[in-house]
Structure 1
C-alpha cells in the first residue's frame, strides 16, 4: 500500500482551475519531486494534501486513510509535515525555541526526550547549534530554511512536504540543502519535493511528476525525465542529460 495516494483530485481558487484530475502515488522511503512551470499546480498539490485547499473532487489517502474529513490542524498529527515556500520562521523566537515549537503537535514531550530530539536536529543541521540563541529574524535565508526543515522534522513526520526549498538561495547553500534532503530520507522520512531547480531535484529524487495546468503530463524515474526531449527543453533548459548532485 502506498504511503500517499492522490486519486483524480481537482481543485479551484475561485474561478481558476488549479488542479484537474490529478493522480499520483508516493511509496514509503521515496523522494518524489513535482516539476513544472509557475502556476502548474505544484504548490496547490501540497496545500491540498495539507487540507489548506479543499478539493472539488477526488480523494487523498494517507496510509490507507481518507483525508476527506480531516481538519488541516490534525494533518500533522497523522504524520504529514509541510514546510511552505518562504520559510516562515518565528522571527521573535530563538533558533532553539523555533525548533522546539515543531514538537508541539505531539502533545506533551518529556524534557529529556525533547532535549535529545533538539540535539538530533543540531546533528543534522550543525550550523543551527552555534546559532541556537539567535533570533529567527537574524538568520540568513539558508539558515532560515534549515531551521524550517528542523522545525518540520520535530513533528516526527512520516511524510515531509517541501515547497521550493532552494528559492532565493546561493548555489553553495542549495548544494548543502539537497545533501540534507538525502540525509532526511536516509533517516526514514519520505519526502515530496516541489522545486524550480529541476536538475537539482532530479539529482536526489527516486521519481518525478511533471505538471502542467494542474495535470500530470509526464512521470517516471529521473533518467526517464532527463532523457525526455520535451521535459528537458521546457524545464531543464535544454541542458545535459545528466543531473548534477
Structure 2
C-alpha cells in the first residue's frame, strides 16, 4: 500500500477547475517530485493533501485512511507537514521560537523532548544555531527557507511536503538545500517535492510527475523524464545532464 495515494482528484477555485483527474502515489521512503510550469496545478495538489483546499471529486488516502473530508489540523496530527511556498515564517519571533511553534500539532510534549528536538534541527541546519535569537525578519532568504523546513520537521512528520523550496535562492544555497532534502529522507521522512528547478529536483528524486494545466502528462524515473525530449524541451528547461546518483 502506498503511503500517499491520490485517485482521480479534481479541484476547483470557485468556477475555475485547477486539477483534472489527478492520480499519483508516494511510497514510504521515497522522494517524489511534482514538476511543471507556473499554473500547472502543483501547489494545488499539496493543498488538497494538507486539507487547505477540498477536492471536488476523487480520493486521497494516507496510509489507507481517507483525507479528503478531514480538517487540516487533523491531517497534520496524522503525520503530514506542508511547508508552503513563500516560507511564511513569523518575522517578529526568534528563530528558536519559530522552530518551537512547529511542535504544536504534537500536543503536550515535555521540555526535555522539545530541547532534544530543537538540537536535532540545529544539527540538520547548523546556520540556525548561531541565529537562534535572531528575529525572523532579519534572516536571508536561504536562512528563512531552512527555518521553514525545520519548523515543518518539528511536527515529526511521516510525509514532508515542500512547495518551491528553492524559489529566489542563490545557486550555492539551492545546492545546500537539496543536499539537506536528501539527508531528511535518509533520516526516515518521505518527501513530496514541488519544484520549478526540475534538474535539481530530479537529482534527488526517486520518481517524478510532470503536470500541465492541472493534468499529469507523464511520470517516471529521473532518467526517463530527462530522456524524454518533448518533456525536457517543454518543461525541464531544454537539454539536461543526467541526474546525480
**TM bucket normalised to smaller:** over 0.9
Q: Give the aligned partner of residue 99 of structure 1.
A: 99
Q: Give the aligned partner of residue 198 of structure 2.
A: 198
Give SS of 1:40's match. Answer: coil
CA contact (8 A) 2:158 2:189 kept: yes
CA contact (8 A) 1:200 1:244 kept: no
Gaps of 5+ in 1: none
Q: Distance in 1 between matches of 2:100 and 2:67?
A: 27
Give SS of 1:209's match. Answer: strand
TM-score (norm 1): 0.98
CA contact (8 A) 1:152 1:160 kept: yes
Alignment RMSD: 0.9
In the TM superposition, what are the counterparts of 1:125-140 in structure 2 within 5 Å? 125-140=125-140
CA shift digits 1:17-42 (9 cap, x unpaired): 10000000000000000001111100
Q: Give the aligned partner of residue 83 of structure 1.
A: 83
CA contact (8 A) 1:34 1:210 kept: yes
Deviation at 1:241, TM superposition (A): 4.1
Deviation at 1:239, TM superposition (A): 1.3
Q: Distance in 2 between matches of 1:27 and 1:144?
A: 29
Q: Distance in 1 between matches of 2:31 and 2:189?
A: 9
Q: Distance in 2 between matches of 1:236 and 1:45?
A: 19
Q: Distance in 2 between matches of 1:10 and 1:57?
A: 5
Number of matched pairs: 245
Q: Distance in 2 between matches of 1:229 and 1:68?
A: 36
TM-score (norm 2): 0.98
Give SS of 1:92's match. Answer: coil
Deviation at 1:243, TM superposition (A): 3.1
Deviation at 1:192, TM superposition (A): 0.3
